[in-house]
Amino acid sequence: MENLSLISLKAGSSIVLGLIGLYLVIRIWTKWQIMDLDIIKARVFLNRKFLIKNWLYTFLSGASLVTHQFLDLSVSMNYLENTLLIETLSSFSVLMALGFLVLLAFEWYVMLLQKK
């Protein structure tokens, strides 16, 4: 059984990342409302580095969720024993997915708020 500090750390990290992501998404959404769509398109598609980072964060977030689901399925089908290590890896992979989504939102935030 997990100890209380590990559970608190995972829950606290998820809450902090979730609040940061919520803040970034709200700021991005409000900026989208006042920006010209053609400017957004130009900034996104003319910036190769931005596109690569977007693809990478999206891929890593998906891969983290697939890892979580694979571990969960393996435990439920009795291929893996539900140990503290497996439970921690599964929880950490969900936290990583959230982290990559927050990084993705941060990249959009930086791109939309740059002064060019």
At 11 the three-state DSSP class reads helix
Mean pLDDT to the nearest integer, 17-41: 91
Helix axes 48-76, 84-113, angle to 10 degrees: 160
Mean pLDDT to the nearest integer, 11-30: 92
User: For the chain, how many structural domains are there in total?
Assistant: 1
Retrieve residue 1's tokens.
């059984």
The pLDDT-based confidence of 101 (bands split at 50, 70, 90) is very high
Structure confidence by residue, pLDDT tens digits, 70-96: 999 999 999 999 888 888 898 899 999
CA atoms within 13 A on the CB side of 60: 16
| pLDDT at residue number 2 | 52
CB 86 within 8 A of CB 75: yes
- Domain of residue 109, residue span: 4-113
pLDDT greater than 50 at residue 1? no
